[in-house]
Amino acid sequence: MDVGLRSSSRDLKLPYFDGSHRGGSVCKSSHVVAHFLRNVPSRRMSRGIIRCTQLLPGHSERSLMGKKQMIESPPKLDFVRTLLIDNYDSYTYNIYQELSVINGIPPVVIQNDGCTWEEIYRLLYEDVVFDNIVISPGPGSPTCPADIGICLQLLLKCWNIPILGVCLGHQALGFVHGARVVHASEPVHGRLSEIEHDGSKLFDGLPSGKNSGFKVVRYHSLVIDPDTLPEELVPIAWTCGDTIPLHTSPNGYSPVDYDPVGKNFPDMFLGQRNGDIMPFGHPGTMNSKRVLMGIMHSTRPHYGVQFHPESVGTHLGRRILENFRQITVDYWSRPGASIFRGRNSPYTACIQVPNACTLLRRIQPRSKQATNITADHLLDGPSQVKQIAYDLVDKTRLGLSHRKSLLDPHIDSKVLKVTWRRLDEPSSEFGGAENIFCQLFALEEGKNTFWLDSSSTEKGRARFSFMGTKGGSLWKQMTFRLSQNSKGGFKGCGYLDVEDSSGSISSLFLENGFLDFLNEELSSFRHNENDVEGLPFHFYGGFVGYIGYDLKVECGAETNPYKSKAPDACFFFADNLLVVDHVTDEVYLLSVDDATMSESAWLDDMERKLLGLKAAPAKVSEHTSILPGTITPSEAGFNTEKSRDQYMGDVEKCMEYIKDGESYELCLTNQITKKVEGIDPLGFYLFLRKRNAAPYAAWLNFSKENLSICCSSPERFLRLDSNGILEAKPIKGTIARGATADEDRWRKLQLQYSEKDQAENLMIVDLLRNDLGRVCEPGSVHVPRLMDVESYATVHTMVSTIRGKKRDDMTAIDCIRAAFPGGSMTGAPKLRSMEILDSIETSSRGIYSGSIGFFSINQTFDLNIVIRTVVIHNNEASIGAGGAVVALSDPEAEYDEMVLKTQALVKAVMEFQ
């Protein structure tokens, strides 16, 4: 395919060069690109204008150095300073994490429309702030100015600075010198290929060719047409063979070794194979022609790779970035390296990024001698320059808190006292967690109660259950609704109603949104660590509730096109807690009070009530299932937002966006609703938890909103413990349980070795690594478990675990802003994917796809992903479900998966009624 590529949503593209300039002046293409980019408006309304100019007045391309060459060799670099250009991708901070470790200092991240060329020029050539540049992956095409921003100018004008382009950056390197960017024969996202290379410096020390062990992860729909490469660009790497899954099936069997009717089925997979069971994997169908995976410029230190070296699935990926560091060191260590680098002199970095606070910082010079940073602040090494590098990253553009922080001494402190006790009797003596909740907190149909319910604790999935109701003097309920702006969308500002323990209600308009307010509340709490010594859990009282999906507008998304029927966030401040430890069977009581108050009598009262439960186990009515094994929502009387044909049509739309490079994965959803007047919401939740136990289940009731949430989620969104460890556990890949033990075993293996499901999971794992990488210490983000298959009552799911150590300068809410909404509910890249999904879906997701959990007074939190959930609001039950659409998707199979995820909930509603 040799035509220009652009999304149907765009009306701008750069002209292709037909190769007629081969061997001619590069300045010609420089002139064409720069002329076309000048004053092109950004597609992102809040991000202003991409202002692109020709070379600065008085500077020819070769005069950028500005000063004569040095004769002697400069000193070797002890650490390397990277400018990382973010093309609004969801994997940029994986590169950031890797480079932080490799370079000895974190890169500075600037989004591709965050600075003008004049500002970048000053940083590179006057202040001499950076040693090299890395251009990130990203959605879209280098032919669209809004997708690529400043990157084309950097590639043209920074001829004497080492540059590495990854994926979109690789395509930009080809495009800017005249190569064509075309559709690949097949989109490849989250899948691996073996690589053959020419042994150039970028691939130094890496194996090459088929069965060499050098396998890389690819996320792309577009490629450089190798037949159009100009002479100045040299191909250095290619694919060899078809794509391969990350994990292959045992004993060397490949997905195509299994036929659909059971012939030649290995003993290890014995069992019934029903006709509706899909094959193990998706055999690679790439065109056998090799795909260009790497290029370099013949005279400039510029390189590009089409694959993702930063992916957790890429073998030896760090070596690529280490080699680029060495290329940079060697480049600036040459005899005659430019004197403008200022190796031995102090310099100032002044980065001005839109929406940022004033960021006038000085960066550590190459010399290890101390340099005056401010009147009273000295730096003497790269470890001490880390925080300055962090500060240069615009926290507002990351979606992080930009007002008061945990460390702000001007925040009014609220000193709290925590008292607690552990009972001598195990919870089984009181009839277990369910009986305790029903007898002590479920009076008046459970109004204004919460239960973070670890109803499934196998394999260490969860350990504690927290429950409570309206209690002491600090109790309050916060209800937040986003407001509509003049253009009809719903932005981050909105109205907060706060009801205190006496019933008084106050209303506030939160100009900066709910998360900023919550950050200030959490940052104001203080407590004595001695008060909580000995507690095995991290929740010491605080906020319990939910964040709706539409709060994405406080986390970087542009707008919400639809209004949620339910509040966008609702929380109790829980000052009294009962906690059940499901591992030890112990019961804890905890109370939070103002430090000036006398000790609460709640602990004594609750212990007395508990002791009275020994001979009074709860009686919960049992229901017998009379429904068939599979029932569609319409058969169960639910109204579906999208019909089968409409949903499949939406899947096809998603696949077109993916084909055009706009997204790697789109998590499309659907909503079903049913009137349920007269239903007992708490009774229904108790019924649901028996049939669909889950580790991150929850019950929430906000009586004044006529809102009950019955959640049986198997997925953790994000947890932060008191040691500063962040953990995410995304789910991607789901299959129904089998009817027999053999079939169930086979289905589990089918999921485990499915290339499509592995690709889905890998994309979200890399996305979550990126999100944690924004707020975690460099080098700390890791994946202890990749693609484990976990089994629940009705489905098998593929689950991964990502962890990292939170940076000390980040708050709990900064962590939420960096990662919300959960990537398993959006797709990747996250921001572009949410924009696309907003254009396809026809209503607000509301509570579904958001998060339920707690924020503790000690800044820890634990939140789930709201899936497998029935929301009962104003006598209507709503259920959301969906699935990840990828290049390998089949529309009919995607519809079937969406219906599968509603089955347990739909049947529970029908059976309970």
DSSP string of 360-407, one letter each residue:
EEE---SSSS-EEEETTEEE-SHHHHHHHHHHHS-TTTTT---S--TT
Q: Which of 183, 308, 538, 582 is catalytic?
A: 308
Q: Report the distance separating Cα 353 and Cα 247, nearest Å.
A: 42
Q: Report d(CA 440, CA 443) in Å as an integer.
A: 7
8 Å CB contact between 502 and 515 = no
Catalytic residue among 98, 194, 196, 310: 310
Q: Please, which residues have CB within 8 angstroms of residue 75's CB and are 6 or more apart in sequence?
A: 343, 344, 366
* Residue labelled with tokens 């992860």: 217
What is the residue-wise DSSP string for 208-267?
A: -STTSS-EEEEEEEEEE-GGG--TTEEEEEEEEEEEE-SSPPGGG--GGGS-TTSTT--G
The CB density around residue 417, as the number of other CB atoms within 10 Å, is 17
**DSSP-derived 3-state class of residue 680:** coil
Q: Residue 31's Cα: distance from chain center in Å?
A: 38
End-to-end CA distance of the chain: 57
740, with CB counted inside 10 A (0-12, 13-18, 19+), is exposed
Which residue has 């009839």 as its token pair?
A: 431
308 is catalytic: yes
Catalytic residue list contains 282: no
Block residue for tokens 């969104």: 717
Query: Which of 654, 885, 659, 665 has its CA nearest to residue 1?
Result: 659
Q: Which of 52, 167, 711, 776 is catalytic?
A: 167
Burial of 112 (0-12, 13-18, 19+ CB in 10 A): buried
C-alpha closest to that of 838 among 443, 444, 477, 552: 552
Query: Which residue, among 609, 611, 549, has the nearest Cα to 871 in the 3D structure?
Result: 549
Confirm whether 115 is a catalytic residue: no
Q: Which two tokens stand for residue 75?
A: 């000193």
Q: What is the CA radius of gyration of the chain?
A: 29
CB-side neighbour CA atoms (13 Å) of 261: 0
Pairing, β 639-640 against β 665-675: antiparallel
Q: Tell me which H or E stretch contains 197.
A: strand 181-197
Which residues neighbour 342 within 8 Å (Cβ) at sequence distance 6 or greater? 128, 365, 366
DSSP notation for 754-782: -HHHHHHHHHHHHHHHHHHHTTB-TT--E
- Helix and strand numbers (H, E) in the chain are 19, 40
Q: Indicate if the alpha-carbon torsion angle 611, 616, 617, 618 is positive or negative.
A: negative
Q: Residue 101: what residue type?
A: V
Asked if 800 and 123 touch (Cβ cutoff 8 Å), the reply is no
Q: Position of tokens 């190798």?
A: 226
Amino acid at 718: L
Q: Which amino acid is at 868?
A: R
Residues paired with 711 in a beta bridge = 698, 869
Spatial distance between the Cα atoms of 289 and 184, rounded to a whole number of angstroms: 11
Tokens 């920074």 sit at which residue? Answer: 158
Alpha-carbon gap, residue 399 to 659, rounded angstroms: 29
Query: Catalytic residue positions?
Result: 167, 308, 310
